[in-house]
Chain A
Amino acid sequence: MALNKRERKNTELKVALAGNPNSGKTTMFNELTGSRQHVGNWPGVTVEKKTGRAFYQDYSLEVIDLPGTYSLGAYSEDEVVARDFLTAGDYDVVLNIINSANLDRNLYFTVQLLEMGVDLIAVLNMADEAEKKGIKIDKNKLSQLLGTPVVETVASRGRGIDNLLEQTVQNRDLSEASLKINYGSDIEDLISEVVEMLKQYDFSQQINQRWAAVKLIEHDPEAVKLLEREVGASKAKKIKSLIAERELKAEDDFDNVIIDKKYEFINKVIAESVQRPTADEEPENVSDKIDAVVTNKYLGIPIFMAVMWAIFKFTFTLGDPLIGYIETFFEIAGGWIGTQLLEIGVSPLISSFITDGIIGGVGSVLVFIPNIFLLFLAIGVLEDSGYMSRAAYVMDKVMSKLGLHGKSFIPMIVGFGCNVPGVMATRTLDSKRDRIISILINPLMSCSARLPVYVVFAGALFSSHASTVVFSLYLMGIVMAVIMAGIFNKILFKGERSHFVMELPPYRFPTLKGVIIHMWEKVGAFLKKAGTIIFSVVVLIWVLANLPLGVEYASAESFIGQFGQLVAPIFAPLGFGSWQAAASLVFGILAKEVVVGTLGVVYAAGEGGLRTALLANFTPLAAYSFLTMVLLYTPCIATLGAIKSETQSWKWTLITASYLFVLAWITAFVIYQGGMLLGIGV
């Protein structure tokens, strides 16, 4: 595919990682690029290509990690990302990461790439697992049969990486020859005829003609579309009807024959290059034993609930004391800086900007770094260990009642970290209907940005029951998601069912390096958000609290006060009609942490800090109603942006933004008014 290569310096290479899911691709990417990654790797699923940089000798390699895919067939959006990148050909070498212990299925993808003429290095990863199973692979023989270099690695232990880099650099200009599989005389004759016909058209000079012919004979929708676009519908029809005519005469459908021949070729390659122990019956492995318990009909769901509870406890029990330290730090720092500024004669306005605005606003958000750190650590471990897909399997029972299947549950778990990757993770669902419903309910999964709001309120108003109150909000989010999915399933879509096939990878111990990279990225992203969006909004609010000139800081007469008063009546029936609460919710749409930031700024004037101010301004019932609102109402702009780009539709984006607001308002109303009638928490 050298034709599309862009001009690059001799010492610069563009290298893509491609392969089956669970072949250790992301581990390899981390191993090659370390922390030099440009795009964040969200825990959960790789659904977008990521780039990083690796250095070897004098060479600088741009490394691209593609979403895992089983073939070039591309049945879901994440696979389309990988396929489009691979067919566009803007790279020097593809490192095809192969799970050595699982050669036959992995080679199916390798063979497809080689047929297309991709310059690739076959990377036999997880070589240690193959060894443990007694699988012996003759690398030289395999390389000869496939006609491409073969390298052995164990990415999780950093074994073979230097050799891989050496081979990558040396093989940057592989031969243009592509792999040819003999598809039998019927199909081979047809291939020649189709190639002859394609040769008439200019576009075919840019592609591998044999490969294009095979794809057309397989009725590959993308290939047919390309042909129609390039030569027009009527000329394309000539080729299509030739294929249809031959297929009618043949015994079997051509696409079946082509698949069978590919596997036949792979079986031959394996027979000649791989030695396996001849065990009659595979013994049950450790993963099977764990699965016997974890996926049990009766135990599955309780175990999953226990895991979620454990994650929750882990995040809070470990995080709380740390929060205390950071809080104390900001209090002392704020006080000290305030006095210093006054002593050196800085104007009270600037002093207020620094202590009330920046420390009161941004500081009140930064306090939550430990919780966010721990939460993402837990979600990362959940994914890397292999449990995530078991959770999806177990939850299929619940999800199928909603017209979804278990796989739709993975984006929901990812959403507990952040709704943006949660929405993106729906790409792995292949039916449009499943995707839309999953996107619509994803914001109901309580993300890490809402956590600071819960913790501040729960700490101030529900001291002894704080963790129960917060956990109840998480549960409320899940229950609402289930209810809404059921409703959307009934009113929006009917009939369409999708295919449920999902691999359950063997359980693995997460690698320390992978987990640390995950966490570092998350904390980095959080700090960046605090330094950009949250900082700007907090500054804006501080300014609005000081205008018009001469007004008392953060009073009802300030701009922010006037604005809050304008909006407040909407929230009055919910128990929090103060202008401060109203303003914090409106600005919270920019980023949910801003709810705390805003309250920090506008209440900073009071003595004793935010907690005391909340205690004075909210009853426990009103606080719970407020938290319900924060949980359920309109998602932040970043999530709305993700919804827009994933659905390609303003309609769905606006529906999500508005239905959630209505749902939040009604739920908070019922809770507050119901509580008032019963006299709870008033």
Chain B
Amino acid sequence: MPLAMLRQGETACIKEIVGGRTARGKLTDMGFVSGKTVKIHRSSGGPLIVGLGDNRIALGRGMAHKVIVDNKGCEN
């Protein structure tokens, strides 16, 4: 499911980044790569604030739809 659909406080594992070259490039540059754990710190209408390790990143809803995650979390 897309990252945008998670609720505040939920954690998930990144499976895949979809979308155009620019969007994908920007996301991978910021550390959104498959196998990483993301946590939703804020989801209240506007852009999301997600935690990626120690980084906090504001992510527009459109971009958050390009990050496909598994809410069962990462293995290991």
User: A residues near B, CB below 8 A?
Assistant: 70-71, 73, 75, 101-102, 104-105, 108, 133, 219, 255, 259-260, 263, 282, 285, 287-288, 291, 295, 297, 389, 392-393, 396-397, 400, 405-406, 430, 497, 499-506
Chain B residue with the shortest CB-CB distance to A500: B60
Known: A73-B25, A101-B54, A503-B57. A497 touches B31 (CB 8 A): no
Known: A295-B42, A497-B62, A499-B26. A406 touches B56 (CB 8 A): no
Task: Give the complex CA separation of A105 and B60 in angstroms.
Answer: 20
**Of A70, A133, A392, A500, which contacts B59 at CB under 8 A?**
A500
B44 CB contacts on chain A under 8 angstroms:
297
Known: A282-B54, A501-B60. A71 touches B47 (CB 8 A): no
- CB–CB B58/A502 < 8 A: yes
Minimum CB–CB distance from B44 to chain A (whole Å) comes to 4
**Of A260, A282, A504, which contacts B57 at CB under 8 A?**
A504
Task: Give the complex CA separation of A406 and B49 in angstroms.
Answer: 13
Task: Give the complex CA separation of A505 and B54 in angstroms.
Answer: 10
Minimum CB–CB distance from B75 to chain A (whole Å) comes to 14
Enumerate the 5 nearest inter-chain pairs by beta-carbon distance, A residue then B residue, closest first.
A500-B60, A70-B29, A105-B31, A504-B56, A71-B29
Q: List 26 A-B contacts (CB under 8 A).
A: A104-B31, A105-B53, A219-B21, A255-B21, A260-B34, A263-B33, A288-B41, A288-B56, A297-B45, A297-B46, A392-B58, A393-B46, A393-B47, A405-B47, A406-B47, A430-B22, A499-B22, A500-B58, A500-B63, A501-B30, A501-B57, A501-B59, A501-B60, A503-B30, A503-B55, A504-B57
User: B residues near A, CB below 8 A?
Assistant: 21-23, 25-31, 33-35, 41-42, 44-47, 49, 51, 53-60, 62-63
B55 CB contacts on chain A under 8 angstroms:
102, 105, 503
Task: Give the complex CA separation of A589 and B57 in angstroms.
Answer: 41
B23 CB contacts on chain A under 8 angstroms:
499
Task: Give the complex CA separation of A105 and B56 in angstroms.
Answer: 13
Minimum CB–CB distance from B21 to chain A (whole Å) comes to 7
- CB–CB B58/A501 < 8 A: yes
Task: Give the complex CA separation of A18 and B47 in angstroms.
Answer: 29
Task: Give the complex CA separation of A104 and B33 in angstroms.
Answer: 11
Task: Give the complex CA separation of A646 and B7 in angstroms.
Answer: 41
Apart from A101-B54, A105-B31, what 4 extra A-B contacts exist at CB < 8 Å? A260-B34, A499-B22, A499-B26, A501-B57
- CB–CB B33/A260 < 8 A: yes
A219 CB contacts on chain B under 8 angstroms:
21
Chain B residue with the shortest CB-CB distance to A392: B58
Minimum CB–CB distance from B32 to chain A (whole Å) comes to 9
Minimum CB–CB distance from B2 to chain A (whole Å) comes to 15
- CB–CB A389/B46 < 8 A: no
- CB–CB B22/A108 < 8 A: no
Minimum CB–CB distance from A559 to chain B (whole Å) comes to 56
A101 CB contacts on chain B under 8 angstroms:
54
Chain A residue with the shortest CB-CB distance to B37: A282
Task: Give the complex CA separation of A219 and B25 in angstroms.
Answer: 12
Task: Give the complex CA separation of A295 and B44 in angstroms.
Answer: 10
